[in-house]
Structure 1
Amino acid sequence: MKHDFNREWLVKKFEEIRKRILNAISQLDDEQLNWRPHESSHSISTLIRHVEGNIKERILKGILHQEIQRNREEELTHFFVEKSELEKVCAERLQFVIDTIRNISDETLEQKQIVRSRERTNLDMLHQCAAHFSEHMGQIFYIAKQCLKEHYKSSSL
């Protein structure tokens, strides 16, 4: 297949993102997961809801052509979410991305979607999602380290 390398790389990257974020979540309690370093900052719960919104828009809507409504402003609004819900969202949504990558055709990877008035292939969009989610993963680690200080256990590879 034409895109075996990309498919394999993306699956490994999203598996790593899922594993490392779940590792950080597992170390924190509900209060810590909803804590913000500053009132203008996001909490881990908000960042995970934002990643979920991105998955809905870029994968469900953009690649799989499902009708969804995303409210980015709402997902970035701070509100309390329990740890069990965040673990579920993170595990299930990232597994969905992994399964989608494994199962879509090369033709689908080469199809295009419009993102911010620019045409991009689905393959490019998946690489962009991996980069975007990695950025948020770094923010999650930073917040976890702020909460746990020397008790934080790194999930570095």
Structure 2
Amino acid sequence: MNLGNEYLKVVQERFNNVKDLGDKTMRQLSDEEIHWSLNEASNSVAIIVKHVSGNMMSRWSDFLTSDGEKSDRNRDGEFEDDISSKQELIRAWEKGWNTLFETLKALGEQDLLKSVYIRGESHSVLEAIERQMAHYAYHVGQIVYIGKQLKGENWETLSIPKGKSEEHLQKMLKKNS
């Protein structure tokens, strides 16, 4: 087994898992619900998606050859809720993730210790990947939390339902034996 290539495979699976949580949450939300926020200091799902997509486009475009904070990125504009529909939201979401996954697929073990820059700060490729994993998981967690609050009793759980841990464990043990 090649450790670098195994890492790249695993990290792509983890990014896919994080994306899947966001996908499943957004499918449960209406056009109106994607714009809900608790207060002025809070972000709606639409704003979070716009920010994550903008970050992905900036960080993962020309990943090995240019600073991850692109000059044409308007980060402050990412926090303006001007997404007009859930369809537009999904397009932005997919554009960001597609950019990330295309870049990750193009990387090889030989790239993991190369230096890349984010806002002029040097990171190994491995470090930059982990930095973005934490950032996206944080924001997808916010999306899921907002979705759970909005849907209440109508929320379709994304993981093991409460009170079903033992049942799930037995199912997994049986499946993997």
With the length of structure 2 as denominator, give the TM-score of the two structures: 0.79
Matched, 1:72 2:80: no
Distance verdict in 2 for CA 1:39–1:88, change over 3 Å: same
Code of the aligned partner of 1:93: G
Distance verdict in 2 for CA 1:64–1:90, change over 3 Å: farther
Give the fraction of aligned pairs with identical amino acids, expressed as a percent.
24
Displacement of 1:82 = 1.0
Tell me which residue corresponds to 1:91. Answer: 94
Distance verdict in 2 for CA 1:124–1:21, change over 3 Å: same
Residue ranges of structure 2 left out of the alignment (5+ in a row): 161-177
Greater relative contact order (Cα < 8 A, sep 6+): 1
Displacement of 1:61 = 4.5
**Contact 2:25/2:144 (8 A) holds in 1:** yes
Q: CA RMSD in A?
A: 2.1
Instruction: State which structure, 1 or 2, has the greater radius of gyration over its C-alpha atoms.
Output: 2
One of 128, 150, 153 as aligned partner of 1:147: 150
Give the 3-state SS of the residue equivalent to 1:30 in structure 2.
coil
Distance verdict in 2 for CA 1:114–1:100, change over 3 Å: closer
Aligned counterparts, 1:6-85, within 5 A? 6-63=7-64, 65=66, 69-85=72-88
Matched, 1:131 2:134: yes
With the length of structure 1 as denominator, give the TM-score of the two structures: 0.88
**CA deviations over 1:103-132 (Å, ceiling 9, x no partner):** 223333322123345310122111111111
Displacement of 1:134 = 0.4
Distance verdict in 2 for CA 1:61–1:17, change over 3 Å: same
CA distance in 2, matches of 1:63, 1:32: 38
CA distance in 2, matches of 1:69, 1:108: 26
CA distance in 2, matches of 1:118, 1:85: 33
The alignment covers a number of residue pairs equal to 157
